[in-house]
Chain A
Amino acid sequence: MLYFLDITQARCPMTLVRTKLKLSQIDDGDLLDVQLLEGEPFDSVLRLVQQKGHRVKEIRKEREYYHVLIRKQSSVSSGTES
């Protein structure tokens, strides 16, 4: 399934908090398209994806916003937050 998250109006650090929440709500294998601004939101979402072992499928720019397409894949899950 493909999900969409717009964090262009979120204020740091809610950018990351919202992304973490959405990732925790979707299943392994699902795709999440995050619409965001460059700078901190972009840096922190990428950092999160790397840390948690999810896959970045695509990064694109549409008009003034970036999109990061993530495939959720939990590594060995400890049962705590994603």
Chain B
Amino acid sequence: MIDFSRQQLERYSRNILLDSVGVEGQEKLMNAKILIIGIGGLGSPAAMYCAAAGVGTIGIVDSDVVELSNLQRQIIHFTGDIGSPKVASATEKMEAINPDIIVKPIQVSVNAANIGSIVDGYDFVIDGTDNFPTKFLINDVCVMKGIPFSHGGILGFSGQTMTVLPKESACYRCVFHKTPPKNMIPSCSEAGVLGVVAGMLGTIQAAEALKFITGAGELLADQLLTFDALPMNFRKVKLQKNPKCAVCSEHPSITELQDEEQQDCDYQAGA
């Protein structure tokens, strides 16, 4: 049992008032460990809301530094952070939102060799990454280690997310078997995205994480939530665990993590 200080009681009062959260739920949040891989468009709101909710330990992983073009949507980073590592910028804001929490900044690029030890010990993982190879890597390691996670992706005015409960519900590979061919992946110039779309989807991912920890409501398990902000349509697509899935089935063909070739932007000229 946590002994809430008066300040904590006041800080978390709106959580505690909720029947589905209450004192027990708030305690669960304060004892929880959530890992957010990618502190960009999706990771920014997710990290801020997890900090605000009082998640006790929040790991944040990103190898990048803040760039000007990030600021349109990566809402945890400010103009003064340009040039700083994203994990440093994010840690500062998360601790300012809530000094109670512990932030573990991890400034690395995840790969097959390091992701296992990075995710170890966490209760839930939020995928805030922006490339297919890493999304598949996160899926595979979480399924292999039995760590529930939220998959998320955005483009243009659209977003999609699903929550994976390893071995219980459909995983990312059950649905999206492997990285699409290169010519199906948007190039940088086709990759515009409205900033708010990142906020919408990243916040939904944080909601799933908080619901998992507290046990509130129903998760987006065996469901893909998609939205298109232009008509503001939200849609749920039913998913099924694939009995022949390469990673989560009874006889998986993928038993080891592997790095796929990252699609680098081929077209960079000059400064």
Q: Which of A8, A9, A13, A37 contacts B188 (CB 8 A)?
A: A13
Asked whether any CB of chain A lies closer than 8 Å to the CB of B265, the reply is yes
Q: Which of A8, A11, A16, A43 contacts B268 (CB 8 A)?
A: A11
Asked whether any CB of chain A lies closer than 8 Å to the CB of B256, the reply is no
Number of A-B contacts (CB under 8 A): 41
Asked whether any CB of chain B lies closer than 8 Å to the CB of A30, the reply is no
For A43, what are the chain B residues with a Cβ–Cβ distance below 8 Å?
Answer: 187
Q: Which of B191, B267, B270, B271 contacts A39 (CB 8 A)?
A: B267
Q: How far is the CA of A11 from the CA of B266 in the complex (A)?
A: 10
Asked whether any CB of chain A lies closer than 8 Å to the CB of B237, the reply is no
Q: Is the interface of A mostly helix, strand, loop or mixed?
A: loop
B269 contacts A44, C-beta separation under 8 Å: no
For B266, what are the chain A residues with a Cβ–Cβ distance below 8 Å?
Answer: 39-40
For A37, what are the chain B residues with a Cβ–Cβ distance below 8 Å?
Answer: 267, 269
Asked whether any CB of chain A lies closer than 8 Å to the CB of B189, the reply is yes
B267 contacts A12, C-beta separation under 8 Å: yes
For A39, what are the chain B residues with a Cβ–Cβ distance below 8 Å?
Answer: 266-267
Q: Chain B, 240-271, contact with A by CB distance < 8 Å: what is the 0/1 string?
A: 00000000000000000000000001111111
A40 contacts B270, C-beta separation under 8 Å: no
B191 contacts A10, C-beta separation under 8 Å: no
Query: Which B residues are closer than 8 A to A by beta carbons?
Result: 187-192, 265-271
Contact sample, A vs B, 15 pairs, CB 8 Å cutoff: A11-B269, A12-B187, A12-B189, A12-B267, A12-B268, A13-B187, A13-B188, A15-B189, A15-B267, A16-B189, A37-B269, A40-B187, A40-B189, A41-B269, A43-B187
